[in-house]
Structure 1
């Protein structure tokens, strides 16, 4: 079977605006099946108060069908108080199988805590942010102040860069490069494509 599932991990308080540009683009692409995931499959409420009826639980994620695993930011990553065993199973599985993972804002803290950013080019909200929240972080030589980066099957982005994050995800998923450029010029700079 073709790996065409895009799983989006959601949790109470996730930063909904970080996915706002991305979700419509993914939904319009018939090549992929978009599946929202929470720890147990229970509904979640975003930081902005949006109640989401989640599709499935982390336990039901199928790695052999996974095309991309997306993790948004949220206060949860900075608080570091949640039991993340089920998430670890999925993310480590994707990581060891070199399946793409996309993390924005605080979700980069989660990847840094697991050592997944130490050997690849990456970004986050700021270098001091990662160093301050992750005592074991060893990726400083590979840190870049870019808004979004893709390297070794991992996309990372600053929380102020949902457009750049979306652009990197679309590139990973094989969207037409001309379409990506036109889309980015429109939403980032307000430049409408010529008729």
Structure 2
């Protein structure tokens, strides 16, 4: 079973997580032999957080409760509050997970937090455009590994810009292996283009021929 830890913090950018958590939680397009997936929200305290969209989230667990395992996955969303020192603990945990071979996925402002901690110094990655990390991360030294694409997958590290949410979700789902390859391609093309032919291809790719 994969345990997906979703880090929640004030001003969390709701939309950046939408595609990936809805598919992983619902399992509606999973293949028949997909591994089990459990989602948990995690934070630095038990206090509720308030997202940028005005939602209130009560964390399921604390950072100290996280299990470091190859079947652990950490999702780090964008937010306006990543420069608060209280988030240092989750960045340290991200480093532990990466070293252990577990999947860490960061988007938008979360990429800056990882970059400032030195986790991009020797790994391909992306963020909110060339120069963004240089501008806001004094500790950033990974310029030669920066790739100017919406989302970049490098083994167990997947990073994305604020405009790369859908591709980021696709790469995470692909890494976990919970969709059949043709289902994933049709899913991505449908949500990218809105083409109804891709919707029918998506439905036909499922084991039963229809959405679960």
TM-score by length of 2: 0.84
Alignment of 1:17-36 (within 5 A): 17-29=15-27, 31-36=36-41
Would you say 1:97 and 2:74 are equivalent positions? no
**2:125 and 2:154 in contact (8 A); partners too:** yes
How many matched pairs?
191
Query: Residues 95-147 of structure 1, C-alpha deviation per residue, up to 9 Å, x if partnerless?
Result: 22121100000100011011111111111001211000112211111111110
SS at match of 1:121: coil
CA contact (8 A) 2:42 2:59 kept: yes
Q: Which of 34, 37, 44 pairs up with 2:49?
A: 44
Unaligned runs of 5+ in 2: 28-34, 202-212
Residue 185 (str. 1) matches residue 189 (str. 2): yes
Q: Would the alpha carbon gap of residues 52 and 148 (structure 1) be closer, same or farther in structure 2, given more than 3 Å must change?
A: same
Task: State the partner residue of 1:53.
Answer: 58
Q: Within the alignment, does 1:138 sit opposite 2:110 as a pair?
A: no
Is residue 85 of structure 2 the alignment partner of residue 87 of structure 1? no
1:19-42 deviations in Å (ceiling 9; x for gaps): 111111011237110001111132
Q: Is the 8 A contact 1:5 1:34 kept in 2?
A: yes
Aligned mates of 1:143, 1:86 — CA distance in 2: 25
In structure 1, the partner of 2:6 is 8
Trace 1:109-148 onto structure 2 (pairs within 5 A).
109-148=112-151
Deviations 1:55-76 (A, max 9, x none): 1111111113742100000111
Query: What are structure 1's unaligned runs of at least 5 residues?
Result: none
The 3-state SS of whatever aligns with 2:149 is coil
What TM-score, normalized to structure 1?
0.91
Aligned to 1:68: 73
Q: Distance in 2 between matches of 1:60 and 1:31?
A: 20
| Equivalent residue number for residue 152 of structure 1 | 155
Distance 1:66 1:60, change over 3 A: farther
